[in-house]
Structure 1
Amino acid sequence: MDGEVCVVTGATSGIGRATAAALARLGAQVVLVGRDRGRGAAAAAELAAAGASPRLEIADLASMEQVRALAGRLGMLGRIGVLVNNAGLMAGQRRVTADGFDEVFAVNHLAPFLLTSLLLGKLTTDPPARVITVTSGAHAAARLDLDDPQLEHGWESWRAYANSKLANILFTRELARRLKGTGVTANCAHPGMVRTRFGREARLPMRAGVMLARPFMLSPQRGAGTIVYLATSPEVAGATGGYYVKRQRREPARAACDDATARRLWQLSEELTGLTPARPAGT
C-alpha cells in the first residue's frame, strides 16, 4: 500500500480511526474525514507520531452541501485508490437535517451514495480502485419501504438504522453492477459488535444493552480487520458486489439481494441528492 491514497470517512474515532491507522502502517497515504475538528486533530497527530503523513478533512456528512464540498476537495487529489465509507450513526429520536432528510438516512446512506457518485470519475480514471462501505448484520431486521424511506410515517430508532444498513448493501450491489469492467470494485463489510462510541445517542434500552454487551465486543482494531482486508488484500483484487463478515464473503439477507430494489433505491437517491431531477409525481 506504499503511497496509495486511502480516504476513510468517520476516521476520527472507533472503527474508522483503527482502519486509518492500519492502512497508514501499511504505507498508505491516509485522508481522515470527520466532523469534529478536535477529534480529527488528535487522530491525525497520533498517526503523525507513528511516522505517517495523514491529511485531515472536516465535513458534516449530514449536510449534502458539505458532502459536495468534500468531494470537490478530494477530487483535487492525484488519485484515490481506496474509499472507505465508514461514517454512521444510530439516533434516539428522529432529527431532520437542513436538507430536509432524516439524519440517520442522510448520514448512513445518502452521504456515502453522493460522495462515491461524485468521486466515480476520479476512481475510474486511474484504476484499480476499491470502494468499501461499512454495513451491519442489522440489515437483516430492516423493513425498507421506498415509498417512505425516511420513515416520515412511523419512525423507530432501530428500524431507521437497520433500513440504512440494508440500503448500504443495496447501494454496493448496484454500484458493483455499474462499475463492471472499469477496474473499480465495490464491496461492503460487517465489522461485528465493536466497542466504540457508536450508539451513544440511541434510546435508553439500546444504550443499556450496549453497555451490558461491551465486555463481549470486539476491539476497534479487530473490528477494522475485514475493512482493511477488503482495502488491501490481493485475494479480493477482482471481487466485487460482496458482503463480507470476518474476511469471508457471506450471503446477506434476501432483501439485500433484490436487484430491482437496488436499482430503484439508486434512482431515488439520485433524485434526493440532486444528481438527477426528481420525476413528476405518478411517473
Structure 2
Amino acid sequence: MWPFSNTCQSRARLVGRTVIITGANTGIGKETARDLYWRGARVILACRNLEKAKEAVEELKNIPTSSNQDREEFRGQPGELAVCKLNLSSLASVRECAKRLSTSEPRIHLLINNAGVMACPKEKTEDGYELQLQSNHLGHFLLTLLLLPKITESVPGCRIVNVSSMAHAMGKIHFNDLMLDESYSPLKAYQQSKLANILFTKELARKLKEAGIDGVNTYTLHPGVIATELGRHLDRAFFPGLRLMMKLWRPFIKTPVLGAQTTIHCAVDDNAKNETGLYYRECRATSPSMQAMNMDDAAKLWMESLRLVGLPEVEKLDDLLESISNKVIPSL
C-alpha cells in the first residue's frame, strides 16, 4: 500500500444530494460511489455494462467504505443507489443517458466524470473518433453539457469533477490531427485525452463565471498510480514485461480506496466548495503542467469539441444551455 497517500478528511453528509459517477462499477469509481452512498447521497452508477453495475450496487449496499466505516458520521442511514446505461464511446448512448437522467432526476448536484480507458491499441468508435479521446474527453464533454441545465437548476453547492492523470504533463493537443490518424501511439493518445480533461475543466469554469452562473464549481485531479483494470493494455502499449514490473512496484501502488480519496475530496470538502477550475493531487490543489494552463488551447479545444459532438458552436455558455434546454438539437 502506498505509504504517502492523503485521505479525505471531510465529514460532510450528503443527504438529499444526487450524484452521478461514470464508470462506477469498478476501481476508484466504485470506491467513490461507496463513500458517497454511505454519506447519504443518491448515487447513480452510469456504466457501459449494466449487469456489472447491478453487481456493484449489491456490494456497495452491504460493505461500507473501508477508509471511513469506523467514523461516527457513517453510522447514519446510507443513501440510495441506481444504475443508468452509458457507453462513452457512443455519442448516441451519451445523449440517451443524459436525456434519461435529466428526465428522471429532479436535481443533479454532483457529476463525477471518472470512467476512462488507457493506452489502448488504435481503435475508432462508432462515431469515427479515436477511442481514448472520445471515451476520456468527448463523451464526458457531451454528457456534462447536456446535464448542465439540470445541474444549474440544482444550485447552490453543485460540483463537476473530472478525473485526469499526471500523464497530462507529457501531453499535447494535436489540433491538426486530433484523432492521431497520422501518428498514433497508445501513450500519446492517452496523454492528449488527459490534458483535454484539464483544459475542459478550466474552460468550463471560465465560461460559468462569464455567464454569471454561481453555485457550480469544477475540479480535475490526478488520483495516483492505482492497481485497477485500467492498465490492462500496458504490455502492448509500452514493452513486454512492464506488467511484471508493475507487480514488483505493487507495494508502492495505491489501492482503489486510496486512489479515490482525491476525487472524494473534490466532491465533498468544505474548503474546496470555494475553489473552481483547479487541479488536485493528494487532496490538495496544485499546479498542472504549463500546457494545461494554456487558456487559448482551452478555448480552441472547447469549440472543436462542440463541433465533434454535434452541439451548436456558440461562444457564450448561456446561449448553448438555452439551446440544450429548448431541445433544439435534433439528435437530443
**Superposition TM-score, scaled by structure 2 size:** 0.81
User: Following the alignment from structure 1 to structure 2, what is the Cα–Cα distance between the partners of residues 273 and 246?
Assistant: 33
Is the 8 Å Cα contact of residues 134 and 191 (structure 1) preserved in structure 2?
A: yes
Uncovered stretches (5+) of structure 1, i.e. residues with no partner = 279-283
2:152 corresponds to 1:152: no
User: Following the alignment from structure 1 to structure 2, what is the Cα–Cα distance between the partners of residues 208 and 9?
Assistant: 29
The equivalences for 1:212-227 within 5 A come to 212-227=248-263
* Secondary structure, counterpart of 2:46 in structure 1: strand
Residue 68 (structure 1) shift:
0.5
User: Following the alignment from structure 1 to structure 2, what is the Cα–Cα distance between the partners of residues 208 and 200?
Assistant: 12
- Evaluate the alpha carbon distance shift between residue 92 and residue 212 of structure 1 in structure 2; reply closer, same or farther with a 3 A threshold: farther
* Secondary structure, counterpart of 1:264 in structure 2: helix
Aligned to 1:281: none
- Evaluate the alpha carbon distance shift between residue 45 and residue 239 of structure 1 in structure 2; reply closer, same or farther with a 3 A threshold: same
Q: Which amino acid aligns with 1:32?
A: L
User: Following the alignment from structure 2 to structure 1, what is the Cα–Cα distance between the partners of residues 172 and 249?
Assistant: 25
**Superposition TM-score, scaled by structure 1 size:** 0.94
Is the 8 Å Cα contact of residues 24 and 30 (structure 1) preserved in structure 2?
A: yes
Q: Which amino acid aligns with 1:246?
A: E
User: Following the alignment from structure 2 to structure 1, what is the Cα–Cα distance between the partners of residues 120 and 94?
Assistant: 24
Aligned with 1:263 (options 299, 303, 328) = 299
User: Following the alignment from structure 2 to structure 1, what is the Cα–Cα distance between the partners of residues 19 and 311?
Assistant: 25
Aligned to 2:203: 174
**Aligned positions, number:** 278
Aligned with 2:221 (options 177, 182, 189) = 189
- Evaluate the alpha carbon distance shift between residue 209 and residue 264 of structure 1 in structure 2; reply closer, same or farther with a 3 A threshold: farther
User: Following the alignment from structure 2 to structure 1, what is the Cα–Cα distance between the partners of residues 80 and 155?
Assistant: 23
Uncovered stretches (5+) of structure 2, i.e. residues with no partner = 1-13, 64-77, 315-332
Aligned with 2:116 (options 78, 84, 88) = 88
Runs of 4+ aligned residues of structure 1 deviating over 3 Å after TM superposition are 206-212
- Evaluate the alpha carbon distance shift between residue 212 and residue 102 of structure 1 in structure 2; reply closer, same or farther with a 3 A threshold: farther
Q: Which amino acid aligns with 2:18?
A: V
1:152-205 deviations in whole A, cap 9, x for unaligned?
Answer: 111011111011000000000000011124210001011001111111123332
Is the 8 Å Cα contact of residues 15 and 79 (structure 2) preserved in structure 1?
A: no
Residue 3 (structure 1) shift:
2.1
Aligned to 1:201: 233
Is the 8 Å Cα contact of residues 220 and 278 (structure 2) preserved in structure 1?
A: yes
The equivalences for 1:127-146 within 5 A come to 127-128=155-156, 129-146=158-175
Q: Which amino acid aligns with 2:86?
A: A
The equivalences for 1:8-157 within 5 A come to 8-50=21-63, 52-76=79-103, 77-128=105-156, 129-157=158-186
Q: Relative contact order: is structure 1 or structure 2 higher (C-alpha 8 Å, sep ≥ 6)?
A: 2
